[in-house]
Structure formats: structure tokens, C-alpha cells
Structure 1
Amino acid sequence: MIKVNDIHKSFGEAQVLKGISTSFEPGMTNLIIGQSGAGKTVFLKSLLGLYTPEEGTIVYNGQINREMTIDDKREFRKELGMVFQGSALFDSLNVEENVMFPLKMFTKQSLEEMLERVNFVLKRVDLENSNMKFPAELSGGMQKRVAIARAIVMNPKYLFCDEPNSGLDPSTSILIDNLIKEITEEYQITTVINTHDMNSVMEIGDKIVFLKNGIKAWEGSSKEIFKTDNTAVVDFVYSSNLFKKVREAYLNER
């Protein structure tokens, strides 16, 4: 579980995060949405520990970020999994080597133990027998699944995803969404996803945090977002005619 208590983050004179408080539960897909410039990326990087807020605290299962020592942070890093927007695979390494990379960096496992774990997670993301392929030989969706395998190979408590559906076609995006949700529930991971994909919001949004101009303007579930009267959320989520019709149909059924 992650608890965020009144965090503020500025860069020079620009105040980006202006007192955000929320919480993210394990076993749930927690989504961060909002317009470009709303503070989503800075918020996500603050959760990852890449930025340190000037005010407020972030608490990870009772451990307060400001009280972590260097050793605490090193151990905490082992509990994090990250899926980057562009997958961020090493082009010169094959699938097996990419997925094994965190194990080599953070554990003292034998090669046999690492291979066993790598093969386990590759099977979990439906990429059995892809060990020796290189990223250039894979489709965008397969690259993203390799990135997910690498993110969960350390059996993390926390999984962070930055625009995991970026550059993918709609059908592949749905597959990635479902995979992330399944893994989150199966392993009871605290998953936080930064996304612009409204299909993701509607399909897997157990909890949604909507940021606007550096503040939390709304939070709720994908079901509650249909019912909200929050003007900023309605304007953002239902900017397309398709989602407007979906919302109208939902409200008419009530």
C-alpha cells in the first residue's frame, strides 16, 4: 500500500504538485490521468523516489520516504517494478538477458536459479520460447510483454507503468491492460499506471486519480466516473463523442 500525504514539488518558481493526498491499495489497478502538464509524470516519479517532494510524505507499507536511509532505499528499489513508455529494452540483449538484468543487478542467485525465474515470468506473459530473440525481432506488443516480464521478475510489491499502451493498436492495448490487471490481482501488487488511454480508464480503473494543474481534482472508480458531475473530469474524459454517448446511455439506464 502507498499513502500520499499532502506532497508538494516545485522546479524553481514553477510549482508542479500542490498538495496531493491519496492512497493506492494492493491488488488494484490505480490509474493517474489528466491533461498534459497536469503533473502526472512528476507525481509518478515522486512515487518512484526519483523526485523528493519539498513538503509532505509518501508512505510505503508503513515506511516513510523521508526517513529512509541509503540502505533502506537500496532495499526498497528491489521491491519496485517499472514498465516504461517505450518499453526501454536493451537492443543489444536478447529477451532472456533483458528479463534477467534486474536479477543480476540486485540478487546473488545462481545462473540456474535466474533462468528458472526468467522462464517462469516469460511463460506468465505468454512469451515461452522467445528467450533468444532480440527486441528488433519483436512486435510492439511483444516488447511490452517483455518489459512487463522484466518488471515482475523480482516479484515486486509495487509496479509502476508509464503510458504502457503508448504506440500500440487498440486490440494489443486491451491485451496489455488485461495482463497488467491479472498480474496485479494474482500477486497482490500495488500497481500505479500513468495513462492517457480512456479505454484503460473504463476497463481496468479500480481507482482513478484525476490531476489538474498540480492538484487532485477528483478520484474514484471507473464506475463512479460515469456518474460524476465534476466538470473538469467530464470535459476531459468525455471529450470524444463515443465516450459522451457511453455516459449518456449509462445515465439514461439509471
Structure 2
Amino acid sequence: MIELKNINKSFGELDVLNDISIQFEAGKTNLIIGQSGSGKTVLLKSIIGLHEVDNGHIYYDDRDFTRMNFSEKKLIRKEMGMVFQGGALFDSMTVEQNVLFPLNMFSDMNESQKMERVNFCLNRVNIKDANHLFPAEISGGMQKRVAIARAIALNPKYLFCDEPNSGLDPVTAILIDNLIQEITKEFNMTTIINTHDMNSVMEIGEKIVFINKGHKGWEGTKDEIFNTDNDSLNDFVFASELFKKIKKTS
């Protein structure tokens, strides 16, 4: 579990996050949604320590991340996996080398153990016979799956995904959503997904947090979204005619 208590973050005179408190649960896909500029990306970066918060606390299973020194935070970061927007694979490395990268950086495994782990992770995301291909030689959907394999290489307790469906066709996006949800449950990870994809919300939104102008505007499940009277959330989620029709029939 990851818990945020009264988080505030400003850049100069600009208040970006205001008194945000949330619990992200283990074994569930926790989604952060909101309009561009709402603060959701700053929130995700604050949770993983890329931004230092001004006030408040971030707890990783009762460990106060905001009060740790550099060495202590480094230990927590070994328990994190990250799927970046666009995949962010190393172009000059093969598929195998990309997944191997965090193992070389942070694990004490021998070479045989590392390769066993690489192949396990690639098999888990249904990547076969592609170890020696480069990112440019595989599809966008395969690149995202390799990025997920790299993110779980160190068997993390916490998985962070920043717009994992960005640039994917709808069918492939659903496959990536389902894969993330499967491994979340399989490994009982605390998964936090930053997304603007409403299909993801409806498919895998076990817990959804809506960030609105730097505040926590709403939280609940994908089923509860259909019955909310939160006008800002309704305007955001049901902006398209398709989702308006879904709401009317729910």
C-alpha cells in the first residue's frame, strides 16, 4: 500500500497540489485521471520522488518516504518498477539487454540467474523469440510489453505506469491494460497508473482518483463513476458522446 497524507506542492507562486490525501491499495489497479494541467503528472512524480513535496507525507507500507535520506530512498526505489510514457526503451540495446538493465544495476544475481529472470519476464508478457531484436524492429505494442517486462524484472512491490496506452491502437491498448491488471494481481503489487484513457478507466479502474485543479476532486470505482453527481468529473469522463450513451444506459 502507498498512502499520501496532506500533500502540497508548489513551483514558485504556482500551487500545483493542494492537501491531497489518498490510499493506493495493493493488488489493485489504482488510476489517476484528470485534465492536462490538473496536477496528476506532478502527483505521480512526487510519489516516486522525482519532485520533493513541500508538505505532507508519503508512506510506502508505513515507511515515511518523505522523511528518508538519499540512501534510504534508494532502497525503496529498488522496490519500484516504472513503465514510462512511450515505453522509453534504450534504442541501442536489444530487447534482452533492456530487461537486463535494471538487474545489472541493482541485483546481486549471477549471470545465469539474470538471464533466467529476463526470460521469465519476457515470457510473462508474451514476448517470444525477440531477445536479440532492437526496439525499432518490433511493434509499438511489443515495445510496451518489453517495457513492462523491464519494470517487473526486479520483482517490485510497487508499479508505476505513466500513460501506458499512449500511441497504441484500441485493441492493443486493451491488451496492455489487461496485462498490467493481471500482473498486479499475480504479484500483489501496488500499481498506480496515470492516464487520460477512459477505456482504461472502464476496463481496469478498480480504484480511480480524479485530480481537478490540484485538488483531489473525487475517488471511487469504475462502477461508482456512473452514479456520481460530481459535475467536474462528469464533464471530464463523459465528454464524448459514446461515454454519455454508456452513462445513460447504466
TM-score range, shorter chain: over 0.9
- 1:161 offset after TM fit, Å? 0.3
- Residue 174 of structure 2: aligned partner: 174
> Any idea what SS the aligned residue of 1:172 has?
helix
2: CA distance, partners of 1:192 / 1:70? 23
- Residue 146 of structure 2: aligned partner: 146
- 1:231 offset after TM fit, Å? 0.4
User: Normalising by the residue count of structure 2, what TM-score does the alignment of the two structures yield?
Assistant: 0.99
- For structure 1, which segment, 58-67 or 145-154, has the greater mean C-alpha deviation from structure 2 after superposition? 58-67
2: CA distance, partners of 1:53 / 1:93? 34
1: CA distance, partners of 2:85 / 2:70? 28
- Residue 136 of structure 1: aligned partner: 136
- 1:10 offset after TM fit, Å? 0.4
- Residue 14 of structure 1: aligned partner: 14
> Any idea what SS the aligned residue of 1:51 has?
coil
- Residue 156 of structure 1: aligned partner: 156
> Any idea what SS the aligned residue of 1:227 has?
coil
Deviation by residue 1:47-103 (Cα, 9 ceiling, x = unmatched): 111111111000000100122122211111110000000100000100000000000
- Residue 49 of structure 1: aligned partner: 49
Deviation by residue 1:127-174 (Cα, 9 ceiling, x = unmatched): 022110100001000000000000000000000000000000000000
**Percentage of pairs with the same residue:** 62
> Any idea what SS the aligned residue of 1:7 has?
strand
- Residue 240 of structure 2: aligned partner: 240
1: CA distance, partners of 2:67 / 2:47? 15
Report the AA paired with residue 146 of structure 2.
Answer: V
- Residue 226 of structure 2: aligned partner: 226
1: CA distance, partners of 2:55 / 2:67? 13
2: CA distance, partners of 1:38 / 1:6? 17
Unaligned runs of 5+ in 2: none
Unaligned runs of 5+ in 1: none
User: Normalising by the residue count of structure 1, what TM-score does the alignment of the two structures yield?
Assistant: 0.97
- Residue 193 of structure 2: aligned partner: 193
- Residue 40 of structure 1: aligned partner: 40
2: CA distance, partners of 1:229 / 1:73? 40
RMSD over aligned Cα, in angstroms? Answer: 0.6
- Residue 99 of structure 2: aligned partner: 99
Structure 2 residue 84 is matched with structure 1 residue 84: yes
> Any idea what SS the aligned residue of 2:226 has?
helix
Moved over 2 A (4+): none
2: CA distance, partners of 1:212 / 1:22? 14
Report the AA paired with residue 122 of structure 1.
Answer: L
Report the AA paired with residue 125 of structure 1.
Answer: V
